[in-house]
Amino acid sequence: MITSIHNPKIQRVRGLIQRRSKREEEQAFVIEGARLIQEARLSGVTLDLVLISSQPTPRAAQLTDDLTAHRIPIEEVSAELFKRISDTENPQGILAVARQQPRALPPNWDFLVVADNLRDPGNLGALLRTSAAAAVNAIILTPQCADVYSPKVVRAAMGAHFKLAILHKTWEEIIHLCHNRSGKPAHLLVSDVESGAPCWQVDLRQPLALVIGSEAEGASPEAYQAADQRIKIPMPGQVESLNAAVAAGILLFEVVRQRYS
């Protein structure tokens, strides 16, 4: 049983939790909880290491049998030490180091989401989760977004990392991708509460890339300059804007409504 905070495996996990540079260097990240770890394994994600508390929850304890059967390395950690390294308030007593395994953009894609300078980890994670639910082909992150593999984003995404293609691109690359889509160019749509067309009056069945900007600043000037069309969510109430993840959910499922109804 590991009891020292100075153990090399513990230090590795702490570094991956706390530092983006460490996650980028190793191309790995930390996931916590039995559900996420089980989902990662079933999705084919490589798990380098699993740490389990000496006092795990029943579900975490049960999961170790499955992980052992698949020859995934497991180390037992004292309950006190596990609480020190965990990034959650009420840890389940199990965490894992997962490999970042980027998915390729499908060649016949027709539905992208662009997270434009989305710096809030909770909003970014919720956007990933909603995008996966709406069958988005990929989510594209512009350079100023929060780290998609940070613990807060991973928790909020609830397994979307294992289902979505996640790409990092500049605006020049995004524009090129939309203009050079095979078959038919994709329309780049940007939400604009001031001058956009109501979302249900816009044809969202066409190939498209939907830009979601930050709640505080909205989309970037580059997004507005590149946009083929601006759309909005009509709001009859007396509010100026919606939370970025909430607005994204409404727009994404308007796409779903038009395409599947």
pLDDT digits (tens, 9 = 90+) for 236-252: 887 777 889 999 999 99
Q: What is the pLDDT of residues 120-136, one digit of tens each?
A: 999 999 999 999 999 99
Same-domain check for residues 128 and 235: yes
Whether 106 maps to a domain, the answer reads no
**Which one of 68, 99, 130 terminates a domain?**
99
Indicate which CATH number applies to the domain containing 202. Answer: 3.40.1280.10
Residue 90, Cβ density class (10 Å: 0-12 exposed, 13-18 middle, ≥19 buried): exposed
Whether 89 maps to a domain, the answer reads yes
Same-domain check for residues 165 and 188: yes
**Which one of 38, 70, 99 terminates a domain?**
99
3-state SS, residue 158:
coil
For strands 229-232 and 187-191, give the pairing: parallel
Q: What is the mean pLDDT of residues 10-17?
A: 97
Contact 111, 137 (CB under 8 A): yes
Same-domain check for residues 146 and 242: yes
Instruction: Quickly state the pLDDT bin for 88 (edges 50, 70, 90).
Output: confident
Question: In whole angstroms, how large is the CA radius of gyration of the chain?
Answer: 20
Same-domain check for residues 41 and 132: no
Whether 1 maps to a domain, the answer reads no
Whether 18 maps to a domain, the answer reads yes
Whether 140 maps to a domain, the answer reads yes
Q: Which of 45, 55, 44, 123 is nearest to 86 (CA)?
A: 55
Taking 80 as the threshold, does the pLDDT of residue 52 lie above it? yes
Same-domain check for residues 92 and 126: no
- For Cα atoms 82, 87, 89, give the angle at the middle one, nearest 5 degrees: 85
Indicate which CATH number applies to the domain containing 93. Answer: 3.30.1330.30
Q: Which of 35, 67, 63 is nearest to 49 (CA)?
A: 67
So what's the pLDDT on residue 35?
Answer: 94
* Cα–Cα separations (whole angstroms), residue 259 to 48, 55, 204, 218: 40, 48, 8, 26
So what's the pLDDT on residue 260?
Answer: 93
Residue 142, Cβ density class (10 Å: 0-12 exposed, 13-18 middle, ≥19 buried): buried
Residue burial 101-112, b: 16+ Cβ < 10 Å; e: rest: eeeeeeeebbbb
- Taking the alpha carbons at both ends of the chain, their separation in whole angstroms is 55
**Which one of 73, 99, 125 terminates a domain?**
99
Whether 208 maps to a domain, the answer reads yes
So what's the pLDDT on residue 194?
Answer: 79
3-state SS, residue 96:
strand
Return d(Cα 20, Cα 17) in angstroms, integer.
8
Per the prediction, the chain carries an average pLDDT of: 94
Same-domain check for residues 144 and 94: no
Same-domain check for residues 86 and 205: no
Q: What is the largest CA-CA distance in the chain?
A: 61
Taking 90 as the threshold, does the pLDDT of residue 89 lie above it? no
Whether 224 maps to a domain, the answer reads yes
Same-domain check for residues 94 and 174: no
Percent of the chain predicted with pLDDT > 70: 100
Percent of the chain predicted with pLDDT > 90: 87
Please state the domain count of the chain: 2
Same-domain check for residues 16 and 52: yes
Q: What is the mean pLDDT of residues 13-28?
A: 97
Q: What is the mean pLDDT of residues 99-117?
A: 94
Same-domain check for residues 128 and 256: yes
Return d(Cα 260, Cα 242) in angstroms, integer.
25
Q: What is the pLDDT of residues 149-159, one digit of tens each?
A: 999 999 999 99
What is the model's pTM? 0.93
So what's the pLDDT on residue 114?
Answer: 98
Q: What is the pLDDT of residues 163-215, one digit of tens each?
A: 999 999 999 999 999 999 998 999 999 988 778 899 999 999 999 999 999 87
Q: Which of 124, 99, 101, 98 is nearest to 113 (CA)?
A: 124
Return d(Cα 189, Cα 202) in angstroms, integer.
10
Pinpoint the alpha helices (H) of the chain: 8-18, 20-26, 34-42, 58-69, 79-85, 121-133, 151-157, 171-179, 221-226, 244-260
Same-domain check for residues 119 and 79: no
